[in-house]
Amino acid sequence: MTLIDGKQTAKEIKEELKVKVAKLKAQDHPVPHLAAILVGNDGGSVTYVNAKVKACAYVGMESTLITYDDQVMEKTLLDKIEELNNDDNISGFIVQLPLPKHIDERKITLAISPSKDVDGFHPENVGRMSLGLPAFVSATPNGILELLKRHEIPTEGKDCVVIGRSSIVGTPMSILLSRNTPTGNATVTLVHSRTKKLEEICKRADIIIAAIGKPHFVKAEMVKEGAVVIDVGTTRVEDNTKKSGFKLYGDVDFETVSKKVSFISPVPGGVGPMTIASLLLNTYKACVQSSDKLSIPQK
Ligand code: NAP
């Protein structure tokens, strides 16, 4: 069994980006600048956003964190989004989800300019991705493709099962793996809470990608000998023995499943760091694309 080390792979990507960003700076080119809007103080969201800001600093990108309390009005957020859409200093931005119930997430997503939508959640980017056109691809599925590619795990002709059909992970993942591309060309089955015989379907898979948020849902008996298993799940479970007060659980029962598979990604240290690395890649791309549009010369 080979451990798919997302932390190490993300570090490699960040080192590559560091060099590229330094090159932009040396050319007096605008530096990629990520803005993040954080609403409320949900522990997970605060941790993720802080990690994104820290990662920007590591690769030499700029970042701006905009925070609101959880009573913020939808209109205030929409006005801020409009401001960021029109701010030439901002390459791209994200609105950390989930948002409080009184805010319509769909409306917020639609308000973000597709050219600055580095999370890849805007329908225009989702549509373009589905058609194989240039797009910002949602950071988590893009990070998973990068993990597969950099671990030289072939997908062509493989039977792949994606568990979970969320619009930010499962659905785009299933589309990306089924496209006619070097990291696609798989035969993909997307399963969810209404799927019958889910265990049987999983058992046939060469590659399983679990994104449901149910700790240890994927057990050894659901997995074929030698399969590749990618665990996206991150569920916080209270644990007083930990300094943080919680332990992070994946969707896969790592202990038993790892004994049967050829490759497996752990939680933590698997997909999570790759999501951040992908966001940085998208921000770099947004910066270069917007400069191209403004005809800023690159030496
Ligand atoms: P989500 O919106 O919470 O949706 C969960 C999906 O799982 C739904 O499609 C649901 O089916 C399906 N599901 C739930 N219970 C199931 C069951 N018993 N059998 C089969 N399918 C079931 O999903 P998400 O936002 O993609 O998040 C999934 C997990 O990934 C969470 O733990 C989240 O924290 C984690 N995550 C991690 C990262 C990262 O960077 N590491 C990024 C994003 C998400 P229905 O559609 O039928 O309800």
Tell me if 28-114 shares its fold with 139-272.
Answer: yes
Name the residue with the closest Cα to ligand 1, atom 2. Answer: 166
Q: What is the pLDDT of residue 290?
A: 87
Position 298 pLDDT exceeds 60: no
- Our separate counts of H helices and E strands in the chain read 10, 11
Rounded CA separation 270/250 (Å): 10
Whether the CB of 166 sits within 6 Å of ligand 1? yes
Q: Is the separation of the CB atoms in 80 and 51 below 8 Å? A: no
What band does 271 get if pLDDT is binned at 50, 70 and 90?
Answer: very high
The preferred substitution site among 232, 246, 251, 282 for testing ligand 1, maximizing ligand atoms within 8 Å of CB, is 232
Query: Closest Cα partner for 286 from 84, 53, 55, 38?
Result: 84
Based on the residue annotation, tell me whether 119 is a catalytic residue of this protein: yes
Contacts of 213 (CB under 8 A, 6+ apart): 164, 233, 234, 235, 251
Q: What is the 164 CA–ligand 1 centroid distance (Å)?
A: 5
Q: What is the pLDDT of residue 297?
A: 46
- DSSP strand E in the chain: where? 2-3, 33-39, 62-68, 92-95, 159-163, 187-191, 207-210, 228-231, 235-238, 246-249, 263-264
The predicted-structure confidence for 131-162, as pLDDT tens digits, reads as follows: 999 999 999 999 999 999 999 999 999 999 99
Whether the CB of 271 sits within 6 Å of ligand 1? yes
The preferred substitution site among 169, 216, 252, 265 for testing ligand 1, maximizing ligand atoms within 8 Å of CB, is 169
What band does 295 get if pLDDT is binned at 50, 70 and 90?
Answer: low
Mean pLDDT over 92-115 rounds to: 97
AA identity, residue 2: T
Compute the mean pLDDT over every residue in the chain, rounded to the nearest whole number: 95
Domain covering 139-272, topology: Rossmann fold (3.40.50)
The predicted-structure confidence for 54-101, as pLDDT tens digits, reads as follows: 999 999 999 999 999 999 999 999 999 999 999 999 999 999 999 999
For residue 175, the surrounding DSSP H or E stretch is: helix 170-178
Q: What is the pLDDT of residue 44?
A: 87
Q: What is the pLDDT of residue 294?
A: 57
Position 292 pLDDT exceeds 80: no
Annotated domain spans of the chain? 28-114, 139-272
Percent of the chain with pLDDT over 70: 98
For residue 272, the surrounding DSSP H or E stretch is: helix 271-293
Rounded CA separation 91/73 (Å): 25
Q: What is the 20 CA–ligand 1 centroid distance (Å)?
A: 34
> When comparing pLDDT for 44 and 85, which is higher?
85
Mean pLDDT over 44-56 rounds to: 94
Q: Give domain 28-114's CATH superfamily.
A: Leucine Dehydrogenase, chain A, domain 1 (3.40.50.10860)
Q: What is the DSSP letter of 116?
A: G
pTM: 0.95
Q: What is the 118 CA–ligand 1 centroid distance (Å)?
A: 21
Peptide linkage before 182 cis (omega within 30 of 0):
no
Mean pLDDT over 196-208 rounds to: 98
Q: Is the separation of the CB atoms in 155 and 186 below 8 Å? A: yes
Q: Do β-strands 246-249 and 235-238 pair in parallel, antiparallel, or remain unpaired?
A: antiparallel
Position 214 pLDDT exceeds 50: yes
Position 296 pLDDT exceeds 60: no
Rounded CA separation 38/30 (Å): 25
Buried b (16+ CB within 10 A) or exposed e, 99-112: beeebeeeebbbbb
Position 39 pLDDT exceeds 90: yes
